[in-house]
A and B are shown apart, each in its own frame.
Chain A
Amino acid sequence: MSMREKIEQAAAAYPDQRSAIMPALVIAQKEHGHLPGPVLEEVADILGVERIWVYELATFYTLFHTEPVGMFHLQLCDNVSCMLCGSESLLTHLETALEIRKGDTTADGLFTLSTVECLGACEMAPVMQVGDYYHGNLDVARLDALLDSLRAAAGPPAGDEHASQSVPGK
């Protein structure tokens, strides 16, 4: 299904097309990874709404990104429950391990590191969201294991001759 068809399907839930802007932005962000100006304009055109209405939502809600983020967006919760359970030291560890500061993306485009307000999973604090998944009860060892698994899921870096040799049949 094309992005237009997905948006039109989502819009059918509402009597007013303006209500469909948020669902449409979710669909567009999944499609494009982030929401640059031309994508926002395309959303407005599909729904037949004012472009400014789309812009004002894309810049108000924190889950919409108008700038690119890495392949894995590490969103570490540092609100009270997670803070009490050690999220500060986890942030320091992530910054050291990834050699970036909070808010930045690694040079290879693999990781963007952010801190976020409460993820609503305080029973397993400290918690971090990566893509669609929550990772709770984190400590340094679990964080390292998670980073390793994400790197593995991303595949070998382009141009790594040793990695390419290890793939059978290639």
Chain B
Amino acid sequence: MFEPVLLKNIEVANGHLLSAYEAGGGYQALRKVLSEYTPDEVVELVKQSNLRGRGGAGFPTGMKWSFVPKGGDKPKYLCCNADEGEPGTFKDRIIMERDPHQLIEGLAVSGYAIGAETAYVYVRGEYVTAIRRLEQAIAEAHERGYLGKGILGSDFNFAVYIHCGAGAYICGEETAMLESLEGKRAQPRLKPPFPAVAGLYASPTVINNVETLACVPHIVTRGAAWFRGIGPDKSPGPKLYCVSGQVKKPGLYELPMGIPLKELVEEHAGGPLPGRKIKAVIPGGVSAPVIPERELEVGMDFDSLAAAGSMLGSAGVIVVDDSTCMVKVATRIIEFFHHESCGKCTPCREGLNWVVKVLRRIEAGEGAPGDLEQLDMLCKGIFGNTFCALGDGAAMGLRAALKHFRDEFVAHIEEGRCPYH
């Protein structure tokens, strides 16, 4: 029987307060590492757990931490990516609103591991409640000695600051986030150097997602073997799945990594709305290629979804039923990427503008012969040729829609109208 850990406090009354977090065993992981582990041992523990980053890319967290150079005269920074702008995704907001101390403990343990004394939590500015609760939790943690100087009688000093974003999706890209934190327009940096070597203020910097950091205290208290024992070997652990769209029970579900997408949607989230059938599911936020209904047996983990031609991404699962036009869905997704393109590189800035115009024309019943070939060509020109993954995400999503639902695009062009309107 799977036991949720990341969401165990979510329904607790006043679960955002320190008293509730401590009553559930909170901050025991921080006590444990400060009294029993060296920083290197914490890194090793996280490596053994095989925790892979929950922000989208799935890079092994312990390995990322181990890239931070030892010593040196520059301060080391920990940045928490709480920008959460991927449509379909809301897991980090719920952790920050209802269990912010879980994140703060994760930050403190992770900061100890990498040798950082300062952390910035980059939260999207729209998340006003999350920001307020985090501010309150940081103040409580300071007062109780979980943050500040000489934490719990050790020689570890650690401060957490909140940095509010201001409505730019690109800030979720780690180097663009660093630019934004430095007070510049959020545009991605060329890599290398990678942030672990030269990140914030050109200092060694680790950037982890909220959910990733929330996993860390549980790995400390329950052990790496416990974590590895959940889900597939190559992507283990508990996972938060955000389910939304045309489904009976949208919501946040904590289940083992690797759970079949069909089980998640049809059993846990209640299946399609009355009288409807599922047509397609976007499994990992809008940059994840759409999966048609016939392929929903795929496991919800990094490797299974990659093998199926999609990706876990942010695990923002969007359910689309048979009443919906896939051209309209694809158009709205590309409109999003077009709107959010930072403008730094030409394939993304100009290419997505072109793609949006063609898609809007097709959806309006004004498509022309050759439009689909032109879209194929534009995807080829964008994918792999952009500065960051934003353009890739757009191209991948459109390619999948064109592959699985080409008949709908053709119907729009041939009939000169949207068959769903």
Contacts and interface: CB of A to CB of B under 8 A. Distances in A.
Interface of A: 13-23, 25-26, 49, 53, 56-57, 60-64, 78-81, 83-85, 116-125, 129, 132-134
Contacts of B22: none
B59 interface: no
B242 A123 contact: yes
Contacts of A134: 129
A122 B318 contact: yes
B166 A84 contact: no
Given A84-B318, A117-B339, A57 B332 contact: no
29 contacts: A16-B182, A17-B183, A18-B183, A20-B183, A22-B165, A22-B180, A23-B163, A23-B164, A56-B185, A57-B183, A57-B185, A61-B167, A62-B168, A63-B126, A78-B332, A80-B282, A80-B286, A84-B244, A84-B245, A84-B246, A118-B85, A118-B86, A120-B85, A120-B92, A122-B89, A122-B244, A123-B243, A124-B250, A125-B244
Interface in B101-131: 120, 124-129
Nearest to B245: A84
B292 interface: no
Contacts of A17: 183
Contact of B332 (A16, A79, A133): A79
Contacts of A118: 85-89, 336
Interface in B275-333: 282, 286, 316, 318-320, 324, 328-329, 332-333
B340 interface: yes
Interface string B141-156: 0000000000000000
A19 B201 CA distance: 10
Nearest to A53: B183
Given A62-B167, A84-B324, A16 B318 contact: no
B318 A22 contact: no
A15 B201 contact: yes
B88 A81 contact: yes
Contacts of A124: 250
B90 A122 contact: yes
Contacts of A18: 182-184
B88 A122 contact: yes
Interface residues of B, number: 54
A18 B185 CA distance: 11
A22 B244 contact: no
B90 A21 contact: no
Which of B88, B92, B181 is packed against the most chain A CB atoms within 10 Å?
A: B88
B186 interface: yes
Contacts of A122: 87-90, 242, 244-245, 250, 316, 318
B251 interface: yes
Given A120-B127, A123-B243, A125-B250, A80 B88 contact: yes
A21 to B, nearest CB: 4
A26 B250 CA distance: 32
A80 B245 contact: yes
A19 B181 contact: yes
B90 A123 contact: yes
B412 interface: no
B227 interface: no
B88 A25 contact: no
A15 B161 CA distance: 12
B93 to A, nearest CB: 5
Contacts of B124: 120
- Identify the 3 closest CB pairs spanning chains A and B, nearest first: A61-B166, A122-B244, A18-B183
Contacts of A79: 87, 286, 332, 336
A25 B166 contact: yes
Contacts of B318: 80-81, 84, 122
Contacts of A123: 90, 242-244, 250-252
Contacts of B168: 60-62
Given A63-B125, A123-B250, A123-B251, A117 B183 contact: no
A6 B303 CA distance: 48
B174 interface: no
Contacts of A22: 163-166, 180, 183
B402 to A, nearest CB: 17
A64 to B, nearest CB: 6
Given A61-B167, A63-B166, A85-B245, 10 more contacts: A13-B120, A56-B184, A56-B185, A60-B186, A61-B186, A63-B125, A79-B286, A80-B245, A120-B127, A124-B250
A53 to B, nearest CB: 7
Which of A16, A63, A79, A116 is packed against the most chain B CB atoms within 10 Å?
A: A79
